[in-house]
Structure 1
């Protein structure tokens, strides 16, 4: 599990594609009735990016940055972090209510009313219990997988909320990436695709 962050490069084409991916088994009878089973409790997110311009000059070498990042992950082998520019923050997001004796809680986010886990946090989030700000280190610890672990048991029934930034933990979909030299020191990467991973 890698924690490298996908580079922000200026040549990104407008129109990033973001697709929720589910897995459903459908069994259809001769009469046309169906039985369906959903295998995922939350979707995987597929991202498709296109870089129209990657410069290869001495002072700025975006091609090397992107190709080097891809190669350092060994294609689809190692996961990394992606900050979706349109979906990377929560404010006073309800994690849940305190359950007696429980000290671990998964960070979550709401997207159109649907709740899903946050597996990678950006920076230092604000964690509140019943409106009271908790102190990282003294009151709680945060795992690499987005779990808040409280040092002491909390009062049952209190709300736990968080505010802060997050990443999508993803991996490249393919083990190959195409880079095209279209003129002089200018290159393009027409399709770079990656998908979120579950831990």
Structure 2
């Protein structure tokens, strides 16, 4: 079952905070040396958003009709920290020509990944795939998107064939708190000064 989508609302304000988070076990000794063990292979991402204007009626279309219900409804649907939803980061969701893997003549399913600088990690949930390429040649068929984030071929790509794709992905997330403050500061107008959530492992 596909989780609900986080709504795109015109009342969202700046700034947006995005915090990649790792976990490291560190043991120090008297000589000053340290032994460090990474506990996460890939980071979790924490987001913090602010909404300066949410409308509880349809009288303020510039803020999105009933935008309060859209956001508050998602929070209630998730039961706070319990449920998950899909957040599409406007600045980090579209990949073009992303290298996925190299075929081995046997494997048919490959996880979608994205590369930032020299760091490659799996993506949370692929929303759509525009193109798939084998050695740079666009494939018009022979592949499917397997939810949530696998590219599956009907026949295994040949050995040493370079697999790449154009796709859009979202972060599967949960809220960080079981309560959140929705402030009614004028008739029909609401705001949320801080809404925090973080990604979950695929």
Q: Tell me, yes or no, if the aligned pair for 1:2 and 1:79 is still in contact at 8 Å.
A: no
SS, match of residue 153 in structure 1: coil
Aligned residue for 1:114?
A: 119
8 Å Cα contact 2:144/2:151 also seen in 1: yes
Aligned: 1:47 with 2:47:
yes
Partners in 2 of 1:142 and 1:185 — Cα distance? 42
Aligned residue-pair number: 197
Q: Aligned pair 1:160/2:163, yes or no?
A: yes
What CA distance in whole angstroms lies between the structure 2 residues aligned with 1:145 and 1:99?
23
Match for 1:133 among 138, 163, 182?
Answer: 138
Match of 2:32 in 1: 32
- In 2, the alpha carbon distance for the partners of 1:99 and 1:3 equals 33
Q: Using the alignment, how far apart are the partners of 1:134 and 1:174 within structure 2? A: 44
Q: What secondary structure does 1:124 align onto? A: strand
Structure 2 counterpart of 1:178: 181
Instruction: State the partner residue of 1:146.
Output: 149
Unaligned stretches of 5+ residues in structure 1: none
Match for 2:99 among 94, 112, 116?
94
Unaligned runs of 5+ in 2: 60-64
Question: Secondary structure, in 3 states, of the residue corresponding to 2:14?
Answer: coil
- Once the two structures are overlaid, the 10-residue window that deviates more, 123-132 or 65-74, is 123-132
Distance 1:35 1:53 in 2: 48
The Cα shift of 1:2 comes to 4.3
Please give the per-residue CA displacement for 1:93-117, whole angstroms capped at 9, x wherever unaligned: 1112112311111111112221111
Secondary structure in 1 matching 2:13 = coil
What are the Cα deviations for residues 33-59 of structure 1, in whole angstroms up to 9, with x where unaligned?
100000111111110001011111245
Q: Indicate if the aligned counterparts of 2:129 and 2:166 stay in contact, CA closer than 8 A.
A: no
Partner residue, 2:71 = 66
Runs of 4+ in structure 1 displaced over 3 angstroms?
Answer: none
Deviations 1:148-186 (A, max 9, x none): 111112210010001121111111111111101112111
> TM-score if structure 2 supplies the norm length?
0.92
| C-alpha RMSD of the superposition | 1.4
